[in-house]
Amino acid sequence: MLRRHRAHSFSIAGLLGAAIAAAMSKAMSKARNAAPRRLASLTLAAAALLAGATVGGCTTTAKTNDTARAPAVRPAETFDAAWTMVRDEHYDQTLNGVDWNAVRDELRPRAANARTTAELREILNEMLARLGQSHFTIIPGADVKTEVMTAVTLEAMSDEVATPTIATTPTIATTQGASTDVGASAQTPAESGVGATNAGESGADAPSDVPGIDGPKVDGPSVDGPNVDGPGIAGIDIAIVEGEPTVLRVTPGLPGARAGILVGWRLISVDGFSVADALRPIRNELASEKNIDSPRARQLRAALAFGGGELLTGEAGSRRIGIFADASGAEQRVEIVLETAPLGSTKFGNLPAFPIEVESRVVEIPVDGAKPIRIGVISFNIWMTAASEAIDRAVDALRSCDGIVLDLRGNPGGMGAMSMGIAGHFLREPASLGSMIGRSNTLEFYATPRKVSVDGKRVRPYATKPLAVLIDGRSASTSEVFAGGLQDLGRARVFGETSAGMALPAQATTLPNGDVLLHAVADFVTSKGTRLEGRGVLPDETAAPTRDALLHGNDAALTAASQWIKTSTVATRAAKAMPVGTTSSMPTAMPTAMPPAIGAEPK
């Protein structure tokens, strides 16, 4: 019997296919400690990379390896079930032009004679690879049932509501008295010893990530010790910068910041295991790819992008010893004790909890002879309903800002319906972000303006001021739907790097042998007909980080977005100040479709 979990939105497991996990497992078969085992398992699903559970730790990996070596269970029946499911439910009746019957005739005899579970999985993934698309993979049943949180658990649990674990959510005070309760438990920079709060800062006296801004101070209770309930977080974001895993952001008050880790540091090893050695199998696989735009190449790039940070995940209370290279190149040994996310975690069924991280702050850009430009910055790690209220409160707290930046870098997606709800904050009129196109039906992603605050007060949507969205190669699925949808509507300007290009809605089905088949059941196009799968969202302004800039407090994407907001705001102010009947020659960098609505800003 096949057990199905219908996808509510855009699966993110396809980012890191199980076939890649097999390649890494083989390359690391002689590794002995927990670190390489954790990294070998990270390629199962992008969500697993970010989950606080001990992804790929000793227990999980042992179970995965044991099942891989075990005799194949019901191999012919499993192959037939997977083949039939793809044939019947692929959104394209031509199956992307693949002769599916010929694929069955070629591979079924091999599957029927498979001796081990690993051999059967390899054949099934070979079959799925013939489609040349993302979001087709086999997820080992042991990982789904134990400690690996897959895209299925994040997006495809039918009719089940994500319930947040209750956790204290302290208030973060931002500049000029604005506040929101969506941030991390925090210490002041003086207490933590790691400098100001803006991403991109590299020390106590470092400048903000936006030139000319002094970073807002963070007030809140100090943390006496780690919360040891559920998945843990380090509070740092590791991205591949100039080819090396580098600290892109440090959340104030969380373990990484309290340990003294600074933006721009490079990660060298975790628990004695070299990060370069851990990532080498992925790099080698990527180098061997003839088509750099193939789904497999995209999966490998995503695996590489997330790889370094995965080694710093685990259960709350667990310890990681990281070796980092600081600005001078000297090695810094740092002990990090992971703790529960201040906003708690969300969980589906008997699967592991997933930490929820939402952060907001205000930065200011001085303007000669005028009041400074105030910019609200909101970032969150996953599109899950447990994060919705925190994001909504952040928007409410930042309504008076001259512009808002939504930072979706490193956000692999989640529940697609959330894209419509969050987009409603920024639209003056109802609009479509795009369409989910299945074999026999189409679902419109229609966003309606949000006119009521979280506290029930009537508000105007934040629809007439600049909105910037930051993305990178780790931004996938729902993040792409949101960014690409608002970009094509002309409502947002996108900065950063091209996104993952993995935006196919998917469904999960439990196969006869206990493994899970993840398979796309729809395509997605924006309101302008832009297909995001395989293409990604292309930024309006490319701004890739460099290590030198990060070490000097300059986050390229955020700086570019902030400069655009400044230019737009100065132009708007100048237009307002002009006498009636005159025109301004002041240039503007607003998107062409941006509503002018001078004098209609929300109060």
Does residue 222 sit within a domain?
A: yes
Q: Work out the pLDDT band at 365, boundaries 50, 70, 90.
A: very high
Does residue 504 sit within a domain?
A: no
What is the mean predicted confidence (pLDDT) over 471-489? 95
In the predicted structure, residue 519 carries a pLDDT above the cut 50: yes
Instruction: Decide which of 204 and 517 is more confident.
Output: 517
CA pair distance 103, 108, nearest whole angstrom? 8
pLDDT at 295: 73
Mapping DSSP to helix (H, G, I), strand (E, B) and coil, where does residue 397 land?
helix
pLDDT at 133: 83
- Residue 23 vs residues 43, 231, 286, 565: alpha-carbon distances, Å: 10, 27, 11, 45
Domain carrying residue 299: 164-354
In the predicted structure, residue 393 carries a pLDDT above the cut 60: yes
CA pair distance 560, 38, nearest whole angstrom? 36
Task: Lowest mean pLDDT of 351-360, 469-478, 553-562, name the range.
Answer: 351-360
What is the mean predicted confidence (pLDDT) over 461-485? 96
Task: Lowest mean pLDDT of 214-223, 305-314, 503-512, name the range.
Answer: 214-223
pLDDT at 475: 95
For the chain, what is the domain count? 1
Taking each helix axis as running N to C, give the angle between helix 100-112 and helix 75-89, from 0 to 180 degrees, rounded to the nearest 10. 160
Does residue 41 sit within a domain?
A: no
Q: Work out the pLDDT band at 508, boundaries 50, 70, 90.
A: confident
Is-contact 242 546, C-beta < 8 A? yes
pLDDT at 313: 86
What is the mean predicted confidence (pLDDT) over 476-500? 96
What is the mean predicted confidence (pLDDT) over 334-360? 81
Does residue 514 sit within a domain?
A: no
pTM: 0.76
CA pair distance 23, 155, nearest whole angstrom? 27
Instruction: Tell me the range of 329-333, 345-349, 585-589 where mean pLDDT is highest.
Output: 329-333
Does residue 55 sit within a domain?
A: no
**DSSP H helical ranges for 70-99:** 75-89
Instruction: Decide which of 375 and 596 is more confident.
Output: 375
Instruction: Decide which of 482 and 281 is more confident.
Output: 482
What's the CATH number where 176 sits? 2.30.42.10
pLDDT at 155: 36
Is-contact 180 171, C-beta < 8 A? yes
In the predicted structure, residue 12 carries a pLDDT above the cut 60: no
Does residue 299 sit within a domain?
A: yes
pLDDT at 347: 65
Percent of the chain's residues with pLDDT above 70: 69
Does residue 181 sit within a domain?
A: yes
pLDDT at 329: 95
- Residue by residue, DSSP assigns 526-593 as ETT--B-TTT-PPPSEE----HHHHHTT--HHHHHHHHHHHHHHHHHHHHHHSPTT--------S-TT
CA pair distance 496, 538, nearest whole angstrom? 9
Mean pLDDT (the chain) is: 75
**DSSP H helical ranges for 5-140:** 18-27, 34-42, 46-50, 58-69, 75-89, 100-112, 117-129
Task: Lowest mean pLDDT of 25-29, 286-290, 406-410, name the range.
Answer: 25-29
Instruction: Decide which of 231 and 581 is more confident.
Output: 231
Does residue 323 sit within a domain?
A: yes
CA neighbor of 359 nearest in space, from 184, 589, 507: 184
